[in-house]
A and B are shown apart, each in its own frame.
Chain A
Amino acid sequence: MSAKRITVLALVVAVVAVLAALPLFVKKDSTINLACLVLLYVALASSWNILGGYAGQTNLGHAAFFGLGTLVARFTWLGGWPLWAALLAGACVPVIFALIIGAPAFRLKGAYFAIGTLALAQVLYVTVANKWPLITSLPARYLATYRLMPRYYLFLAVAVFTVGVAYFLVKSRLGLGLMAVREEEDAAESLGVSGLRHKLLAFGVSAFLAGLAGGAFAFYHVGYYPQFPFSPAWTFDTMMAVYIGGTGTVVGPIIGAVFYVLVKELLALKVVEAHLIIFGILFILVVLFLPGGLLEAWSKIRSALGSRAKSRKAALPAG
């Protein structure tokens, strides 16, 4: 048990060390940009998974929280706030919106939460486009000092922090409560686990982390339309990454995000815009036939190989 834990810990340290050292031996900007994108998707997928995977509540408006993070962080940062304060503000404001939707929606079961989050995201998307129709570009004095490395390390920090929060959450009382609520809410309530409070807390954490990723995006991007991060495509991408990797696990969203971004890049080079059709079909197939995603596929393959090896061993003395 503890040996396994040490292996996992060593693996985590090794992965983070390799990622931290990446800029030392990769000099191409396009590769670092791709790495930034992968890390952003890891953060988004892991944050969505806290509510969508562990608590089983399908958030159809993750883009709203990511977008709010970018909006608040970008304007406060360009307004002269120190970066850390802008990032913090960008992470906190989405929590307020999460509570506005979550508090009434979680009181009722079933479809209400999905509809509410979808509505929030669409309304913000259109409203932001109306209110800030112009592109937000970095002013000249920021551009003059623009370096890719700090951006990369910020994405890395946000991704590691998000995965870390997800990891410790699962082990905690809160995480166990969440899973209990997901599996059987009435039973959980009868044991004194408040469904509403757990879901709200998970939603708050999820929105906070999405907002933090949004802040990193606002710091990273040179020029974009303010409504762009609110686009429903961010929610779609995130959900697909989580489901393809495996929901309700710490590793699933990471694998899903890496797989999703890399395959998307690969497909975009060959067949423009067809990647959404392919991923859409893949997503449906995963939901219908492989609810555990790639992780489940891997463990199935492994156990199939294992049982074959075992049965061969068992067969040996007899034969």
Chain B
Amino acid sequence: MLAPIAQNLAFGILVGGLYGIAAVGLSLVFGVTRFLNVSHGELLMLGGYAGFWLYTLYHVDPFVGLPIVVLLMVVLGVILYKLLFAGMVKYPEETKVKNTLLVGFGLGLVLQNVALRLWTADDRGITTTYSSRVISLAGVRFPLVRVASFLIALIVLFALHQFLQRTYTGKAIRATVQDWEAATLMAIDVQKVYLLTFVLGTALAGMAGALVSVGYSIQPNMGLEWTLITLIVMVLGGLGSIMGTFVAGVVLGVAQSLTSFWLGGAFREIVALTLFLLVLILRPQGLFGVKEG
């Protein structure tokens, strides 16, 4: 009885790490720019296909190819920001949220259908020579690629944390979160901070997608589901809180995994909505967030 629970727990934590790193990207962008990019899941999907193409067309190992995927996503992020989002900076907060939401929604639709034409609706995944390797620990099996993905997510998160805490640019980003007007007065180029944050969010989404394509599978219509997961994880963790977001990702992963074990797979989807509603009613600042004002 205990072994299957431990096994599900392990799977939940491993997938939760990917939820976390994907949601950190969304949360960072929302916290800094107030852009609610609902095409985040589609960006993740593109990252997945980038990794998939690198592997099938050029035989690049998915983990070696990760920096290339990130680089491609950075380029895409800059293009999307300049083309669609740069004009939103001047709007007041509510308008910013709404307009970016609408633009993101249109963008997601376009990306999804472009992906459908490029890669068909089939499930794709990367199967390497070491894909089937498993680490066994006290009867619990840990698939090697998923463990590696989780560790990479942790390392990236740690690096991101250090970057935000220690570097000048990181401090400028955090200052903008707190008060962008005051930040402007302190000679911080808010436009540049916005661009940087948006690109960072795109890169994180793409990286998460590439990791998903290794340990799991990808489809053109996966975007909406991932957008929803990342949005809910963002709310669970507390808007704009990086560490909280990552932990919330793991919490959601575990909650989904355990409910589908106890109640059946059909209930897996309901968990996210229930958690979201509970947080909304009981703790609107998120599980780990600090109350504003």
Contact = CB atoms under 8 A, between A and B. Distances in A.
Contacts of A222: none
A58 B113 contact: no
- SS class, residues of chain B in contact with chain A: helix
A287 B280 contact: no
Interface stretch (B49-57, B67-75, B208-216, B225-233): B225-233
Given A114-B36, A288-B87, A123 B94 contact: no
B79 interface: no
A273 B116 contact: yes
Interface size class of A (residues with CB under 8 A): 35 or more
A4 interface: no
Interface stretch (B97-105, B135-143, B151-159, B191-199): B97-105
Contact of A120 (B36, B98, B107, B273): B273
A114 B113 contact: no
Contacts of A107: 280, 284
Interface string A268-311: 00000110110111011001100000000000000000000000
B270 A123 contact: yes
A243 interface: yes
A127 B112 CA distance: 23
A280 B284 contact: no
A200 B192 CA distance: 39
A110 B93 CA distance: 8
Contact of A126 (B232, B269, B276, B280): B269
Contacts of A170: none
B110 interface: yes
Contacts of A281: 106, 110
Interface string A99-120: 0110011011111101110111
Given A108-B284, A232-B224, A287 B106 contact: yes
A172 to B, nearest CB: 24
Contacts of A23: none
Nearest to B224: A232
B134 interface: no
B114 A277 contact: yes
A119 B284 CA distance: 16
B113 A110 contact: no
A280 B84 CA distance: 13
A200 to B, nearest CB: 15
B1 interface: no
Contacts of A115: 228, 231-232, 235, 276
A284 B94 contact: no
A110 B94 contact: yes
Contacts of A60: 38, 101, 105
Nearest to B264: A130
B232 A119 contact: yes
Interface string B226-249: 011001100100010000000000
Nearest to A283: B106
Interface in A236-278: 236, 239-240, 243, 273-274, 276-277
Contacts of B224: 118, 122, 232
Nearest to A185: B94
A112 B235 contact: yes
A288 B84 contact: yes
B84 A108 contact: no
The 9 closest A-B pairs by CB, nearest first: A280-B110, A280-B109, A284-B106, A130-B266, A283-B106, A104-B280, A126-B269, A123-B273, A276-B113
Interface of A: 56, 58, 60, 100-101, 104-105, 107-112, 114-116, 118-120, 122-123, 126-127, 130-131, 232, 236, 239-240, 243, 273-274, 276-277, 279-281, 283-284, 287-288
7 contacts: A60-B101, A110-B93, A119-B232, A119-B273, A123-B272, A273-B116, A287-B106
Given A108-B284, A116-B276, 4 more contacts: A111-B97, A122-B225, A126-B269, A277-B109
